[in-house]
Structure 1
Amino acid sequence: MSRITITPRFVLDYTVGRYHGQVEVVTKDIGATIGTEILDENGVRICSYKPGTRYSDRAEEIAEEHLRKALELWFRRPLKSVEAMEPKEAVAFCLRVIVADEQPWNPDEEEADPWL
Structure 2
Amino acid sequence: MLAAGNIVSLTDAAADRVKELMAAKDKGFLRVGVKNGGCAGMEYTMDFVAEPEKLDERVEDKGVEIVVDSKAVLFLLGATIDFETTKLHSKFVFSNPNQTDACGCGESVTIVPATR
TM bucket, shorter chain: under 0.3
* Greater strand proportion: 2
Which of the two has higher C-alpha Rg?
Answer: 1
Return the TM-score normalized by structure 2: 0.28
Q: Whose helix fraction is larger, Structure 1's or Structure 2's? A: 1
Q: Which has the higher contact order (CA 8 A, sep 6+)?
A: 2
